[in-house]
A = this chain, B = another copy of it.
Amino acid sequence: MNKIEVCLTPELIHQHDLNGKVVVVVDIFRATSCIVTGLAHGITAIKPVGGVDETLELGRQGFVTAGERGGQKVDGFDMGNSPYEYMDEDLIGRKVAISTTNGSQAVLKSLDADEILVGAFLNLSATAVYLANSGKDVVVHCAGWKGAVNIEDTLYAGALIHWLKDTHTLSGDSAFLASQLYQANASDLLKMAKESSHAHRLAGFGVIKDIAFCVEIDTYDAIIALREDLLVRI
């Protein structure tokens, strides 16, 4: 059996040895849900970017610019951080540069891994099957919220543990916590996800529809991985 660990926030990622492992970065509300959606709908590649200025520079080079700070669209960006924006047919064949409060940063903090995937409930089974066949240990890297642990990413970690139970044993207490959270709430993910402080924050922006969309399981059969510095469908 391989192992699966969970890092509950990027602030704890230094406690995990990523060498030789596959990292799955997750930011359910909403960066990785957007990335999965966009690449499933025909965006060619998405480049995770740290800063706003760098994103705007990529915009001048032909990238569509996307992202948020504090949950809201950045002035000057083409798109915000709602998965529905990523379904736009005008984006088919385009490259997008995305900079978000938590998600992009988590990708950039995972570069020591053998391979980086991007996960969401939307592509849970596709990701799980790929990992089950990888023969490698897995670290789920929860993007959290400004360094803090959050419910929705932890819930995803627990779901992935459950999906990988035949090939990966859980390793460490954070994985155990995530697994417990998922098992206690598997029957109603949406109810649990709505308890998240971030869901409350998002609800304040009127994006209830996004929350419901982001906790749907297996909407897409897309595996998303970082190749060079671009996230692509593999």
Which residues of A does B touch, CB under 8 Å? 8-9, 11-12, 15, 145-151, 154, 172-174, 176-177, 180-181, 183-185, 195-198
Complex CA–CA separation, A6 to B37 (angstroms) = 34
> Which residues of chain B are near A180, meaning CB under 8 Å?
180-181, 184-185
Shortest A3–chain B CB gap in Å is 12
Q: With both chains docked as a complex, state the minimum distance between the C-beta of A83 and any C-beta of chain B, in angstroms.
A: 21
Residues of B within 8 A of A151 (CB): 173, 176-177
Q: CB within 8 A of A12: which of B148, B177, B181, B184?
A: B148
Copies of this chain, tallied across the complex: 2
Residues of B within 8 A of A195 (CB): 176
Q: Are A147's CB and B197's CB within 8 A?
A: no
Which one of A174, A197, A198 has the greatest number of beta carbons of chain B within 10 Å?
A174
A196 to chain B: closest residue by CB: B173
Q: Are B15 and A148 in contact (CB under 8 A)?
A: yes
Known: A12-B9, A12-B11, A180-B184. A173 touches B147 (CB 8 A): no
Residues of chain B within 8 A (CB-CB) of A172 are 148, 197
Query: Which residue of the partner chain, among B146, B173, B181, B185, contacts A149 with CB atoms under 8 Å?
Result: B173
Enumerate 25 A-B pairs (CB-CB under 8 Å) in ascending A order.
Answer: A9-B12, A11-B11, A12-B148, A12-B149, A15-B146, A15-B148, A145-B173, A148-B172, A148-B173, A148-B174, A149-B173, A149-B177, A150-B173, A151-B173, A151-B176, A151-B177, A154-B173, A172-B197, A173-B197, A176-B195, A177-B181, A180-B180, A180-B184, A180-B185, A184-B184
